[in-house]
Amino acid sequence: MHAHASRPQARQTTLLRRAALFDFPASADLSPGTEAARQHTIQWLSRFGVFEDRASVAEYDALRFDVLAGLFYPRATGADLNLGSDLVGWYFVFDDQFDGELGSRPEAVARLVADVIRITEEDAAHGRAQDGEGPLLESFRDLWRRINFGRPQVWRDRFRHHWLEYLHSYHHEALERTGALPGAGGDAPRSVEAVLALRRHSIGVQPCLDLNEPFGGYTLPPALHGGFPMARMREATDDVVVFTNDIASLDKELAVGDVHNSVIVQWERAGGELEDAVGHIADLANARYRWFEKTAARLPALLTEAGADPGTHHFVRRYVDGMRHVMTGNLGWSLRTARYDERGTEAVSGGGSGPGPS
């Protein structure tokens, strides 16, 4: 009994020791609307039949995705935070479908991704549920309509572009798992950069960043959003979240043999001790974060040189804060959630596929 009780504590100790390698803070800046968002999202997912039973609800709730949303959007409350919480919650339930057999069946993954994409193409006023869609697709249709309602077209186009990049990454990952891509099944170890190029999409950070604009009541012009240095700062945000996630989820992904983890790839390439690979990936995250903060400090001068008005300065500052909240909030949530502790690891190693429908 004592040995079993010590296992979760040992796992948490390992996570804290690894998290101490990061030079950036783990945010505790939580929206005051988080508890309300927690209840809202559970009720919303339940309304669409996403949970099979009360045990599934409890399993989902233990992961505290509402806390992740509350850390991502600490200034949002009410309907805005509820929407952010719904997006985060749906994303993780959807993502967990690929932890099991489905994730190694590229044709089935492609069909599911195509079904989700079809919903993004529907007329918002006339799109209707199809027979046999199931809870995930039906809830996504509702989510997609609420996210896009009343938004400027330039923002809607950007959000959809980021969402499609995220969706297509699942098919790419499935092809890699089965060795169906050139070089995927070869003897040469993969590179961290190659895995990172895919993970920047599959991590789903960009759609979360996009919500900062409607929540803040502004829309960045495409030239600013996609130009230097904002595009590079958004990529650095991706990388920090990927590296943080890969370290936090390392034991979970080792348990299921997941190949899309930068720590595991570094370990394969360099050999040596696993913790050496952890340290290397933490160093990469720290370097990205330092570059981000140095660039953020230069932004006001760059904007002034470009002739930006005071309103643009203000909105860019808000957006930069949003990127920072995502990086530090992701680390803060990783230290609170059950997703990466003994319970989360045992759930996936035992063949579970998360709290959603099987």
The answer to whether residue 357 is domain-embedded is: no
Q: Find where tokens 């130009």 sit.
A: 227
Rounded Cα–Cα distance for residues 288 and 286 (Å): 5
Q: Find where tokens 């009410």 sit.
A: 78
Model pTM above 0.85 = yes
**Boundaries of domain holding 286:** 11-349
The answer to whether residue 36 is domain-embedded is: yes
- Each residue's pLDDT tens digit, 215-236: 999 999 999 999 999 999 999 9
CA atoms within 13 A on the CB side of 356: 21
- φ, ψ of residue 119 to 5 degrees: the values are -65, -35
Rounded Cα–Cα distance for residues 93 and 243 (Å): 21
DSSP string, 218-270: ----HHHHSSTTHHHHHHHHHHHHHHHHHHHTHHHHHHHT-S--HHHHHHHHH
Give 299 or 342, the one with higher predicted confidence: 299
Give 103 or 48, the one with higher predicted confidence: 48
The answer to whether residue 18 is domain-embedded is: yes
Lowest-confidence pick of 92-106, 175-189, 294-308, 327-341: 175-189
Rounded Cα–Cα distance for residues 66 and 98 (Å): 22
C-alpha distances in Å from residue 213, one per residue of 15, 19, 87, 159, 296: 33, 30, 15, 11, 18
What pLDDT is stored for residue 100 in this prediction? 78
- Each residue's pLDDT tens digit, 311-332: 999 999 999 999 999 999 999 9
The answer to whether residue 358 is domain-embedded is: no
Count: domains in the chain: 1
DSSP state of 272: S
The answer to whether residue 297 is domain-embedded is: yes
Rounded Cα–Cα distance for residues 232 and 272 (Å): 32
With 90 as the cut, is the pLDDT of residue 10 above it? Answer: no
The answer to whether residue 185 is domain-embedded is: yes
Rounded Cα–Cα distance for residues 301 and 161 (Å): 30
With 70 as the cut, is the pLDDT of residue 70 above it? Answer: yes
Q: Measuring CA to CA, which residue among 157, 123, 167, 156 is closest to residue 141?
A: 123
The answer to whether residue 3 is domain-embedded is: no
Average pLDDT over residues 333-352: 70
* Residue 130: CATH number of its domain: 1.10.600.10
201 and 194 Cβ atoms separated by less than 8 Å: no
Torsion angle of C-alpha atoms 173, 165, 266, 238, degrees rounded to 10? -150
Label residue 182 by pLDDT band (50, 70, 90): low
- Each residue's pLDDT tens digit, 233-258: 999 999 999 999 999 999 999 988 88
Helices (H) and strands (E) in the chain, counts: 18, 0
Beta strands in 73-130 (DSSP E): none
With 50 as the cut, is the pLDDT of residue 150 above it? Answer: yes
Buried b (16+ CB within 10 A) or exposed e, 176-188: bbeeeeeeeeeee
The answer to whether residue 249 is domain-embedded is: yes
Rounded Cα–Cα distance for residues 222 and 314 (Å): 17
Rounded Cα–Cα distance for residues 169 and 113 (Å): 10
Rounded Cα–Cα distance for residues 108 and 33 (Å): 38
